[in-house]
Structures are given as C-alpha cells and as structure tokens.
Amino acid sequence: MNPYQSLRDYEEFIYTLPQQFRSISSSTLVVIRRGGRMVTVSGEIIFAQGYRLIVKERLTFDTGPLVLKRYGYEVWCGNEKLYWYDSQPHPQDPALVSSHPHHKHIPPNIKRHRIPAPAISFSKPNLPFLIREIEQLIET
C-alpha cells in the first residue's frame, strides 16, 4: 500500500514505523496539519548504538494522494553528523543531474561534498530506504 494515498494512511505509516522496523528503539516523529493542504513531519527516529535519523518533510494534498514537496534527513551517531539528504536544487552541479534535485551530503567537507541520491524520491516514502541504510551501518 502506498502511504501517500491519504493523510490518514500516511499518519498510520509514520506512527507504526517502530512496529514495521524492529531496529527502531523509539520515534518522536509527529505529523502536523498546517492549514487545509499542507502537512509537516518532524522528529527523530532513534536506533541502537547511538544512531539517529532526524526527519523533516513537507507534504501537500487536496483530497487525493499526498505529495512530498521538500525534505531534509540527517543521520547522526552520537554527536557526529554522518551525512544528510536534502532536496535543495543545485542545478550548477553537473554531478547531481542524474537524481536532481535529490542528493546526499557526505564527508569530507560535508556541506559542499554532494553525490546523487537515486533512491530518494518525491513520489514514494523515503523513510524505509533511510532506515535500511542505517541498519546496515549498525551491522558493520
């Protein structure tokens, strides 16, 4: 089932993530309706060994499916920011064309070092991919 079909479906998707992924220790994610057509999702997903995922999403809807318009996902371990994803366009960077505007910031020089993020999308939920990516970090 696509969790973007309705606001209710997406809320259920967000609030049941700990049941869907046993690697999640806890979640503070909240879905907040902002007027008649906008929703924000924000908070943290906590994992073992000090890993956490900070989530910020902005979605819009009328009466149909939700559409992800903007996001920021940060992955931390303890006090160290490991990497992040965002949808801020960088049209001047030809290396990012393949997944425009989706990209990942990675070390070194995490603010300026960006790579394409083909697994991130506006048309499907990104959190399952991000959670599996963190699960791989925990396993190594």
Residue-wise pLDDT tens digits, 28-55: 999 999 988 899 999 999 999 999 999 9
| Residue 1 located in a structural domain | no
Q: Show the domain range for 96.
A: 7-139
- Give the residue-averaged pLDDT of 64-91: 94
| Residue 2 located in a structural domain | no
Instruction: Please state, in angstroms and rounded to a whole number, the distance separating the CA atoms of residues 81 and 92.
Output: 25
Bridge partners of 34?
Answer: 38
Short-list 91, 93, 105, 99, CA closest to 121: 99
- Give the residue-averaged pLDDT of 9-13: 92
Q: How many domains does the chain divide into?
A: 1
Hunting for tokens 């990516």 — which residue is that? 133
pLDDT, tens digit, for every residue of 81-126? 999 999 999 988 998 999 999 999 999 999 999 999 999 999 889 9
pLDDT at 13: 94
- Give the residue-averaged pLDDT of 10-28: 96
Check: CB of residue 73 under 8 Å from CB of residue 53.
Answer: yes
